[in-house]
Amino acid sequence: MPISVGQDTAKTRKTLSVNGTSFSYYSIPAAEAAGLGDFSKLPVALKVVLENMLRFEDGKTVTIDDIKAFADWAKNNGKSNREIAYRPARVLMQDFTGVPAVVDLAAMRDGIKALGGDPQKINPLNPVDLVIDHSVMIDEFGNPRAFQMNVDREYERNMERYVFLKWGQKAFNNFRVVPPGTGICHQVNLEYLAQTVWTDVDQNGDEVAYPDTLVGTDSHTTMVNGAAVLGWGVGGIEAEAAMLGQPISMLIPEVVGFKLTGRMMEGTTGTDLVLKVVEMLRAKGVVSKFVEFYGEGLDHLPLADRATIANMAPEYGATCGFFPIDQETLRYMEMTGRETDRIALVEAYAKENGFWRDASYDPVYTDTLELDMGTIVPAISGPKRPQDYIALTSAASAFGKYVNGLRGGTDATPKEEVRWEGEGGQPEPTEIPGDEGNHKRGYVSTDDSNYQLHDGSIVIASITSCTNTSNPYVMIGAGLVARKARALGLTRKPWVKTSLAPGSQVVSAYLEAAELQEDLDAIGFNLVGYGCTTCIGNSGPLAPEISKCITDNDLIGTSILSGNRNFEGRISPDVRANYLASPPLVVAYSLVGDMNVDITKDSLGKDKDGNDVFLKDIWPTSKEIADLVERTVTRKSFQEKYADVFKGDEKWQAVETTDAQTYDWPVSSTYVQNPPYFQNMSKEPGVITNLENARVLAVLGDMITTDHISPAGSFKDTTPAGKYLVERQVPAREFNSYGSRRGNHEVMMRGTFANIRIKNEMLDGVEGGYTKGPNGDQMAIFDAAMAYEETGTPLVIFGGEQYGAGSSRDWAAKGTALLGVKAVIAESFERIHRSNLVGMGVIPFEFTNGDTRKTLGLTGEETVSISGLDTIKPQQEVPCSITMADGSVKEIMIKCRIDTAIEIEYIEHGGVLHYVLRNLAAS
């Protein structure tokens, strides 16, 4: 379908000729010449948005005043309160968020039919790519069969979902599916889908060149900003609206400039750099802001390292972390197999339209900070937040402090009955480095060995996630560490579950070409699948005896992973402390299997001759890594691996589905159900009403993540979700994960606020998804919500700072809405979750005047009324009346975080999809 472009900015439309082909484009210099303002000092990240305004200016949705506001932004120290309507070029999805999005589209077809409209109006207008990457679990590891066995189990578990996605690929226009076993969506996007400069035919039949932009239903969509492609994560709700032609409403963002100088020192990696960047930007405070990286340091920063930094924008809280187009961008496009003509277009367009970074690049920023990359040292981050940066030299002592903080004053002796399960009595306890007497111990006996586990034993070491597996330098580095360790006779400790899950098949190609995969296999890092695995909680079960030892002895099990997230309860139910690290460090830590060991100075083990081996003995030089990258990471390997990217293997090709225009919802399916959002919908929207006498469902603390609100991992048969499946004859072995069940609202409602580590302050010292019900008894949050629903009682949630941090998980908002929550009142919100709440008709509010749940003394026994909503304006402060348990009343003002005028309409309609559906039905 041709793209539609604006008509009233004709003077800014120019022609560019590249290798004999002419392209129309919208020129920022021409806009300046036309008197629309001085845009010369805008950061490139903002010029991308400005070009979008020029291209779609129509005098209505986008006006000339919107364009002029960008010049005012530069004059105004990089600030603006101008609301704009932004249209990304395309949408990227993964299957955990993609399945519910396609479920919504299918439900909207039913909904529009019920309203008398045409189901074919529910079709993506922009290109949509869905990559199946979140489904593979690590059931098998550490042997040559691991990959095939995990793939087989993936298809067994997820066939219902795959049939549904294949139906969607047939039923919807502009919708492609990248099959399982191909790679992680962000890495596939970076290595293949992204073009940096996009082209399409407009309504006049002209070929138009414009910046490649996107939104994605995964927060790490930001990774592609490393290749100068402006993109960020949104919830599935907002992505669906964008697919259906609804512009994204946003304020012209602040842009923080991050100046990089110097160059990385010997022995450091891009991972070490990004962990420092995350720490600095979290401290700076960049939520809802763009971050753009600039400075002479970029001349020495490979695009793979840039992508690692861009990937972790959600971890430092920014909308995106953008790198402008420069010579390195072109080099990467050449290496990854992009067409020669496309590369030439990117260079010509960038230089012609002011998108090119050279030595003279010096834009205006809202604020800046600076880092000399020569000061970077090896580091990890943890134990439960990505911004908790720890220099590697301090890692062991920091873990000791963490244990002592948890264990202070406790008895470190394991329970008598589980001390030892082997024959011959309990062996002498193994010394625990740095133990101040608070570490707990347990013992494991197997057919092969007997060993001690204790607080800090590393039970998972995983090379995982697009964050780092997209980076050949750290992957080759990990392979070289494995090679050197193997040569000296070292291997992983027997209690460590090791895994290698690359983000694309290209990684396997160059590891095999470098003959490093054999070395990785030898110490347990066999290929387990191409997907997110451990990073999103699909680490799979630990060996039963290890899991039992951890549980029986209340041990602080530990993981080390090359991912981007280490939130509580995310990686494994048996692991309490999680650390982010570079792939080479993941391999090194697997050799010692203990976070208490200072691997910068302590022995990693003994070589074949009984000599101590230290980290310096197995750490490769930068030259060793660079030489192998140069030799094995080739243009040809990218072209070969992506030649049939949409074809899939024999298993995918054998998946059968129908050609029906609407979906025939299987009544017995426990994976895909028709959601209730659009059923019995009226043709006209409602009005926003005041909230009267709402009860409190939960009182939550700071940094409540979307993992806390809507966990992605496994769950037990004793949970509300587990009971639901058991009632439908699904055995616990087949539960799969919350993430894989996101097409079934019944499971997801029951999983909302059900993270095993969430703490509801209404209860004393209780972890997990519990609250007080209407009668004051402790019960599951789902059960309490349903009890309140029976009496028609509205609900509110109270929270602390950075409420909704983490993933762009639309189910965190969908589940909240389906539980009957009408408002969330917190100290502050992360950008995506705030938007998702509005998109589901739930109103977010922020405390004002220094009020917090603590200063107000909230216990959850209160009733809450909010007035002024019937005449609400964006970001207006409104009165909130809180009636305490003793009958006293506290009157406070809270700020409504409906941020724009269009969002008020979304709330009136009951959500953004209802708004779109009614408009399409009426057109």
* Number of Cβ within a 10 Å radius of residue 287: 17
Would you call 554 exposed, middle or buried from its count of C-beta atoms within 10 A (0-12, 13-18, 19+)? middle
Q: Are residues 570 and 702 in the same domain?
A: no
pLDDT at 229: 98
Residue 782 within any structural domain of the chain: yes
Last residue of a domain, one of 606, 640, 655: 606
Do residues 880 and 894 touch, judged by C-beta distance below 8 A?
yes
Q: Are residues 704 and 579 in the same domain?
A: no
User: What is the Cα–Cα distance from 847 to 895, expressed in whole angstroms?
Assistant: 6
User: What is the Cα–Cα distance from 740 to 743, expressed in whole angstroms?
Assistant: 8
Q: What is the pLDDT of residues 754-771, one digit of tens each?
A: 999 899 999 998 999 999
Length of the chain counted residue by residue: 923
Last residue of a domain, one of 606, 639, 664: 606
Do residues 132 and 179 touch, judged by C-beta distance below 8 A?
yes
Residue 133 within any structural domain of the chain: no
CA 855 to chain centre: 33
Rounded to 10 degrees, the C-alpha dihedral 863/869/870/875 comes to 180
Q: Give me the CATH number covering residue 900.
A: 3.20.19.10
Q: Which residue has the tokens 């625990």?
A: 432
Query: Which among 359, 378, 817 is positioned nearest to 581, based on CA atoms?
Result: 378
Q: Are residues 386 and 528 in the same domain?
A: yes
Q: Are residues 602 and 695 in the same domain?
A: no
- How open is the CA angle 434-439-445, to the nearest 5 degrees? 110
Give the residue numbers spanning the domain of 417: 379-606
pLDDT at 685: 93
Query: Which among 525, 526, 523 is positioned nearest to 487, based on CA atoms?
Result: 523
Q: What is the pTM of this model?
A: 0.87
Last residue of a domain, one of 574, 606, 638: 606
User: What is the Cα–Cα distance from 615 to 609, expressed in whole angstroms?
Assistant: 17
- How many distinct structural domains can be found in the chain? 2
Do residues 869 and 690 touch, judged by C-beta distance below 8 A?
yes
Beta strands in 836-876 (DSSP E): 843-847, 863-866
User: What is the Cα–Cα distance from 779 to 554, expressed in whole angstroms?
Assistant: 24
Token output for 460:
């998972």
Do residues 435 and 572 touch, judged by C-beta distance below 8 A?
no
Q: Are residues 567 and 703 in the same domain?
A: no
- How open is the CA angle 763-767-770, to the nearest 5 degrees? 55
Q: Give me the CATH number covering residue 547.
A: 3.30.499.10
Do residues 589 and 525 touch, judged by C-beta distance below 8 A?
no
Do residues 46 and 67 touch, judged by C-beta distance below 8 A?
no
Residue 34 within any structural domain of the chain: no
Determine phi and psi for 613, rounding to 5 degrees: -110, 135
Residue 862 within any structural domain of the chain: yes
Do residues 374 and 402 touch, judged by C-beta distance below 8 A?
no
**What amino acid occupies position 23?**
F
- How open is the CA angle 911-913-916, to the nearest 5 degrees? 115
Token output for 842:
């739930």
Residue 790 within any structural domain of the chain: yes
901-909 helix and 912-922 helix, angle to the nearest 10 degrees? 80
User: What is the Cα–Cα distance from 121 to 331, expressed in whole angstroms?
Assistant: 42
Query: Which among 604, 567, 249, 254 is positioned nearest to 388, based on CA atoms?
Result: 567
Does residue 148 sit in helix, strand or coil? helix
**What amino acid occupies position 638?**
F
Q: Are residues 699 and 838 in the same domain?
A: yes
Provide DSSP, 332-361.
Answer: HHHHTT--HHHHHHHHHHHHHTT-B--TT-
Q: Are residues 593 and 463 in the same domain?
A: yes
Q: Are residues 592 and 698 in the same domain?
A: no
Residue 394 within any structural domain of the chain: yes
User: What is the Cα–Cα distance from 150 to 161, expressed in whole angstroms?
Assistant: 17
pLDDT at 419: 43
User: What is the Cα–Cα distance from 311 to 221, expressed in whole angstroms?
Assistant: 7
pLDDT at 704: 95
pLDDT at 713: 84
Q: Within the chain, which residues score under 50 in pLDDT?
A: 1-3, 410-424
Token output for 810:
């639309």
pLDDT at 900: 87
Q: Are residues 786 and 915 in the same domain?
A: yes
Q: Are residues 482 and 590 in the same domain?
A: yes
Residue 556 within any structural domain of the chain: yes
User: What is the Cα–Cα distance from 508 to 521, expressed in whole angstroms?
Assistant: 12
Residue 915 within any structural domain of the chain: yes
**No. of helices (H) and no. of strands (E), the chain:** 31, 34
C-beta pairs of 36-39 under 8 Å, 24+ apart in sequence: 36/12, 36/64, 36/67, 36/68, 36/71, 37/67, 37/68, 37/70, 37/71, 37/72, 38/71, 38/74, 39/70, 39/71, 39/74, 39/354
pLDDT at 409: 52
Q: Are residues 703 and 599 in the same domain?
A: no
Do residues 514 and 631 touch, judged by C-beta distance below 8 A?
yes
Q: Are residues 520 and 391 in the same domain?
A: yes
